Copies of this chain bind each other. A is one copy, B any other.
């Protein structure tokens, strides 16, 4: 892609975009394998990360989790059920609004997430240069 406005696409445009999507898939496949190797369905890993990685000021509720994972609220409900069954998270009643359930991670979840995050950051250190390059090529005249 050469410019910012409507234009013709070259074969290279398609190839670079396809390569970019391929790189994203490889990263998520890495993440999926890492999660499953730790006995964790990948979406549960994403939930743990979203809960732990939430700016501390605001409470992490079912609804906020849904927003961060881009899933419907009832799907977040089901996901949190699975987390609770696995002993990874539990609902904490919110005293100010009894409709809301805050989410708290178990020690087991903290531990799993710690090692998962380490290997993910390590992997991203590997992948970042080529991802950044692909992004720059996608946005540059060439």
Contacts and interface: CB of A to CB of B under 8 A. Distances in A.
Contact of A17 (B9, B121, B132): B121
A36 interface: no
Contacts of A38: none
Copies in the complex: 2
A135 to B, nearest CB: 4
Contact of A11 (B7, B13, B56, B125): B56
A132 to B, nearest CB: 5
A15 B121 contact: no
Q: Taking chain A's interface residues, is the majority helix, strand, or loop, or is none over half, making it mixed?
A: helix
A15 B135 CA distance: 22
A70 to B, nearest CB: 5
B29 A70 contact: yes
Contact of A128 (B18, B21, B122, B135): B135
Interface residues of A, number: 49
Contacts of A114: 9
A49 B16 CA distance: 10
A68 B22 contact: yes
Interface of A: 1, 4, 6-7, 9, 11, 13-22, 24-29, 46, 49-50, 52-56, 68-70, 113-114, 117-118, 120-122, 124-125, 128, 131-132, 135-136, 138-139
